Amino acid sequence: MSAPSTSLRRGLLLLAAIFGFALAVVAVLRNAAAVQEVVFVNGLDFTVQVSAGGTWLRLKPNEHQVRAFPEGALEITVTHEGKLLAQDMVLLPEGGGHFVYNVLGAAPLYLSKVVYSPRSASGATAAPEPEPRPLLGTPFERVSRVDYVLTEPPSSLTLQRDARGAVTRVHLGLADGDWTVRFNWLLNSGHTAEAHRLAETIARALPDMPEAKELALFSGMSLDGGEGSHAVVATARAWRDANPDSLDAHRLWAYQMRRAGRLDEVRAHYTAELATTPNSALLAILLARTETGREARARIEALHRAHPDDLVVRRALAMLYVREQLWAEALPLFIALAGDDPEYAERYADAHDEVLMGLGRREEAEQRAAARIPSVEAKKPTPWNELLHFARLRGRLVLAGASSPLKHHVSHVAVEDKVTGALLRTWLAASMGEDVSDADLRMVPVEVPRRSAAVILAALQAGPEAVVGPSATADTRAFHFMGSEVGILLAAEFERLGDSALAARMLQVSKAELGFAELQDVVRGARDVDSLATMRSEERAALLLAVARGQDARGVRSTETYARVKKLALLPGAVTIALAKWPRPKPGGAVAGAPAP
């Protein structure tokens, strides 16, 4: 057999070389294409330095930059003035998409869909965006496709002639406000875990930022439904130990302990602490909060005589007098607070109005409350709680007539946004026990928490049975807009009717400062409501109303109990609604005013 010719060998070698070169080109092209773009965003109020895969970036506040990296693992380090803030290992997999690195999760990023509806054969206009999905609180995120990255979407699109139907585009946006504003948005919109993760991340990275620690604690308290009371109590105890001079930190721990049914431990703790430090006004106030009304009053009055100029003691005694409706004793203390307490306007002005109401000085109380509501011309946000407070002082909601003080504010909100105006009217009317407009209610999306509050308050007028449905699915956000007395009223009535599970849930979601065992003891007559010295008068009225209704159901004289309820329920609210609208039980399970089966 003869050997291959030289020309044949040369041809084979040339083909092999061409094939090898082609493979090399394909590999180079493939490797060149195997990169992913990452958007780096800094939502902090100072400049940070970012190291990512050998690339260095300097990001100013609210700045973003885009860089490309090969697929695979990418190590990212963030520093500020040489101090390490974050170190993350992220993965850039195959498949494309967009990758976002949000420093500490602080930038208020969101994803939204922009829907363009056809307006002609060749164009489309943007429709209102559906509810955006927040990316705040998550340092690294992969999204499948983004059409507009941190730029405003166009108001219209030019479509091909044969295009039919709506066209959807995805927008990555950056909302206004710093991370604390967006933290509140996350918490109020039900993204509690994301809010907690954001605050904890920033608190760890920036230990000198006290507001981050406080917000992390607050959001952690909101997770108790999922994490359990033991975790929440432990968190509150750690916060108390870290802030031994803070009344709010101690009250938070005592509040969580009480809800867990461990008030005796709180009393023992402060008794021992006060024995060690007998001159501590703070410890004496905290111990008084675990005592009955008479014991607490004697302790705080003695403390005030010993420390007449102590602002914390004066506050404690003033609020104790309000809870016990000792109006004449409370008034000079509130006048003093109005003169020198920096927290008076935010925390004590409404209670001062209540004192005046208790003394029969309604007109003066109304004038004071009206003066705190900014005028429409001031172009400041309308304080809805102040509007409701004014309506309660007046005793009714008046939204008609040129002289109505509330009309201008409610009308102004409605002019700015019809849906928000409808929500405000609905919530105010339901809170006052007045008729709610079905048309207004239909305008507001069902997922809005304040709407859920209005639905429960409106159902309250029909009796406790009517509230079972809407309250069984309501969460803490809805009860936030009703007040803790609503949760206590429903919990006490459901417990009286024998539904302990629903009663316990009402206490949990309303965040009422009341243990379930305490609730049961009061409803069953084993404990007097006046022994719960830290509860506000309207909260005690809610408990006492269930006691009176229980007396009705057993055929026991209830006249004196109802008189106590009416005395405690000074202003319109859930208790006055129930007093006026709920049919009274009859012995044997019948209800007065209810039709026979």
Whether the per-residue pLDDT at 591 is higher than 70: the answer is no
* pLDDT on residue 451: 93
Question: Which one is predicted more confidently, 310 or 135?
Answer: 310
Structure tokens at 582: 């709920």
Buried b (16+ CB within 10 A) or exposed e, 95-134: eeebbbbbbbbbbbbbbbbbebebeeeeebebeeeeeeeb
Distance in angstroms (rounded) separating the CA atoms of residues 466 and 590: 17
Distance in angstroms (rounded) separating the CA atoms of residues 519 and 463: 20
**Strand 148-149 relative to strand 167-174, pairing:** parallel
- Our CA dihedral for 590, 592, 593, 597, rounded to 10 degrees, sits at 10
H or E, element range at 372: helix 362-372
Distance in angstroms (rounded) separating the CA atoms of residues 57 and 78: 10
Q: Cβ(316)–Cβ(310) under 8 Å? A: no
* Percent of the chain whose predicted confidence (pLDDT) is above 70: 84
For tokens 């023992």, the residue is: 268
Residue spans of the domains in the chain: they are 35-117+130-154+166-177, 483-590
Averaged pLDDT for residues 232-261: 87
Q: Cβ(565)–Cβ(541) under 8 Å? A: yes
For tokens 């809610």, the residue is: 542
Half-sphere exposure of 358 (CA within 13 A, CB side): 23
Question: Which one is predicted more confidently, 206 or 39?
Answer: 39
Whether the per-residue pLDDT at 547 is higher than 90: the answer is yes
Per DSSP, the residues of 314-353 read: HHHHHHHHHHTT-HHHHHHHHHHHHHH-TTHHHHTHHHHH
Distance in angstroms (rounded) separating the CA atoms of residues 280 and 276: 9
pLDDT tens digit string along 361-398?
A: 999 999 999 888 888 776 777 789 999 999 999 988 76
Write the DSSP symbol of residue 106. Answer: -
* pLDDT on residue 98: 83
pLDDT tens digit string along 344-365?
A: 998 999 999 999 999 999 999 9
What are φ and ψ of residue 106, in 5° steps? -85, -25
Write the DSSP symbol of residue 54. Answer: T
Write the DSSP symbol of residue 58. Answer: E
* pLDDT on residue 132: 75
What are φ and ψ of residue 102, in 5° steps? -105, 110
Whether the per-residue pLDDT at 404 is higher than 80: the answer is no
Lowest mean pLDDT among 72-81, 84-93, 375-384, 399-408: 399-408
Q: Tell me the C-alpha to C-alpha distance, in Å, between residue 432 and each of 367, 451, 589.
A: 20, 15, 29
Structure tokens at 115: 């829907």
Distance in angstroms (rounded) separating the CA atoms of residues 188 and 415: 24
Q: Cβ(364)–Cβ(356) under 8 Å? A: yes
> CA-based angle 309:313:319, to the nearest 5?
125
Give the confidence band of 590 by pLDDT, cuts at 50, 70, 90: very low
Q: Cβ(108)–Cβ(136) under 8 Å? A: yes
* pLDDT on residue 228: 47
Q: How many helices (H) and strands (E) does the chain have?
A: 28, 14
* Percent of the chain whose predicted confidence (pLDDT) is above 90: 47
pLDDT tens digit string along 150-182?
A: 888 888 877 766 666 778 888 898 888 777 777
Give the confidence band of 415 by pLDDT, cuts at 50, 70, 90: confident
Identify the three-state secondary structure at position 110: strand
Distance in angstroms (rounded) separating the CA atoms of residues 313 and 213: 27
* pLDDT on residue 128: 46
pTM for this prediction: 0.68
* pLDDT on residue 58: 95
* pLDDT on residue 9: 59
Tell me the sheet residues that pair with 56.
51
Question: Which one is predicted more confidently, 529 or 415?
Answer: 529
Give the confidence band of 491 by pLDDT, cuts at 50, 70, 90: very high
Distance in angstroms (rounded) separating the CA atoms of residues 485 and 540: 8
* pLDDT on residue 32: 46
Highest mean pLDDT among 225-239, 354-368, 402-416, 510-524: 354-368
Give the confidence band of 103 by pLDDT, cuts at 50, 70, 90: very high
